[in-house]
Amino acid sequence: MEIKSKLNRFYRWEYFWLFIIVLAALIMHFAIINYPPDIILDELHYINDARNIMEKHETERLENPPLSKLLIVAGIQIFGDNPWGWRVLPILFGAATLVLFYFLCRRLEMSRTASSIAVFLLAFENLFFMLSGLAMQDVFCLTFMMASFLLYAYHRYISAGAAIGLSALSKLNGALALPAVGIHWLFSRQRRSRLFMLTIIVSIVVFFGLMPLLDFAIVHEASDFLDPIKRVLTMMQLTGTLTFEYVDHPSESPPWEWLYTYKPMPFNYMPHYTAAISFSVWALIIPVFGYLIYRAVKRDEAGLFGLGWFFATYLIWIPATLITDRVTYIYYFYPAVGAICLGMGMGLSRLLDIFKQRPRGKLKWFCLGVVIFILAAHVVSFLILSPLIPVDFAALVGIDTIP
């Protein structure tokens, strides 16, 4: 009876499902951390650059800010120049992102059920799972971005600004966290504190203030390289040359196509890695966007925050691409996946509430059926697209892989 009582208390623990989801994600990541044992995808750029930093104190990736580079270096120095050294820190940062996401959902007054569903959807979304286990910039950027969202939600404006600065120091796209929280602050029905201005100021100060220190940790000497203004101009100039006109890559696609064209990009590795949004999430992007608008109009803070998040990390790419012709890839949707999962968590939780509240009738069972179908489709999508199962599904359906 005592064991049964303890198990019952554990099940009723606020963070039971969060614990199970994060533990499952970590087990899956560590189960395949050595497979393949070679450098894959854009790890080629960042791991080789980390080796340059350690051996020569120089970086070849001048278009990228320094923090992600140093974190990859730290992983290699701690665990060795091998798959563990390359991927342990990204995996841990990915797990931290899930924890931060749960607390963000709860802070936005989402129920425990809605928050748990949202975390489940994010944890086992293919694009999130894939990029949260590789030595690339994206996972570090997203973790600091999620931290900034949570800190902002708790009105910790100075800390939120610092986290945004760290996100941008990991990858320039991390600066998109600022308009995300800015949209919520501007349109929120809650009392708007002018202290939010500190978030803007601190994010700029941290970004420009820490960049020379982090760059010095790379080059170990004082030079023009340590001028933060010059560094930003160099990064903008180098990334600005990457346009659809001059880049010829089989994976490139404009951001508006991501909404209506589903083109998985499987890479020639085994276990297979596929750059694709889980089709269970992709199919619901537009409906969830509409639902977030509806919830925002209904004065729901979670709906408004999710809407601002989606706008700043995805929709903003459409006018930016039209104006600059900047080349984009499907994995640029990675920071926006959480906003869709947040909206899906809210919607599916609402369907479960209808199921519980109605004593009988077709609507009751229809709502439950929709929830079961979407969650099952999400699991199936994950198993097909993720590298967990060593089966080349792309070859089975006749899709060409990318070398």
Whether 398 has a pLDDT exceeding 60, the answer reads no
| Local structure of 265: helix, strand or coil | strand
Q: What is the pLDDT of residues 159-198, one digit of tens each?
A: 999 999 999 999 999 999 999 999 999 998 777 788 999 9
* Cα(163)–Cα(167) distance, integer angstroms: 6
Q: What is the pLDDT of residues 280-320, one digit of tens each?
A: 999 999 999 999 999 999 989 999 999 999 999 999 999 99
As beta bridge partners, residue 273 has 267
pLDDT for position 351:
96
Whether 11 has a pLDDT exceeding 80, the answer reads no
Q: 205, 165 in Cβ contact below 8 A?
A: yes
Whether 150 has a pLDDT exceeding 90, the answer reads yes
pLDDT for position 396:
57
Which pLDDT band, with edges at 50, 70 and 90, does 158 fall under? very high
Q: What is the pLDDT of residues 338-358, one digit of tens each?
A: 999 999 999 999 999 999 988
Tokens of 180: 């995300």
Q: What is the pLDDT of residues 370-397, one digit of tens each?
A: 999 999 999 999 998 888 887 666 565 5
pLDDT for position 400:
56
Element (H, E) at 217: helix 196-219
* Cα(95)–Cα(396) distance, integer angstroms: 32
Sign of CA dihedral 144, 86, 171, 346: negative
pLDDT for position 228:
87
Q: 267, 44 in Cβ contact below 8 A?
A: no
Q: Which residues contact 399 (CB under 8 A, 6 or more apart)?
A: 264, 266
Reduced 3-state DSSP string for the chain: CHHHHHHHHHHHCCCHHHHHHHHHHHHHHHHCCCCCCCCCCCHHHHHHHHHHHHHHCCCCCCCCCCHHHHHHHHHHHHHCCCHHHHHHHHHHHHHHHHHHHHHHHHHCCCCHHHHHHHHHHHHCCHHHHHHCCCCCCHHHHHHHHHHHHHHHHCCCHHHHHHHHHHHHHHCHHHHHHHHHHHHHHHHCCCCCCCCHHHHHHHHHHHHHHHHHHHHHHHHCCCCHHHCHHHHHHHHHHHHHCCECCCCCCCCECCCCHHHHCCCCEEECCCCCEEECCCHHHHCCHHHHHHHHHHHHHCCCHHHHHHHHHHHHHHHCHHHHHHHHCECCEHHHHHHHHHHHHHHHHHHHHHHHHHHHHCCCCHHHHHHHHHHHHHHHHHHHHHHHHCCCCCCCHHHHHCCCCEC
Between 160 and 41, the more confident residue is 160
Q: Mean pLDDT, to the nearest integer, of 330-342?
A: 95
pLDDT for position 340:
98
Which of 119, 236, 235, 100 is CA-nearest to residue 159?
A: 100
As beta bridge partners, residue 275 has 265
For residue 63, count other CB atoms closer than 10 A to its CB: 15
Which pLDDT band, with edges at 50, 70 and 90, does 225 fall under? low
Q: Where are the domains of the chain?
A: 22-225+235-397
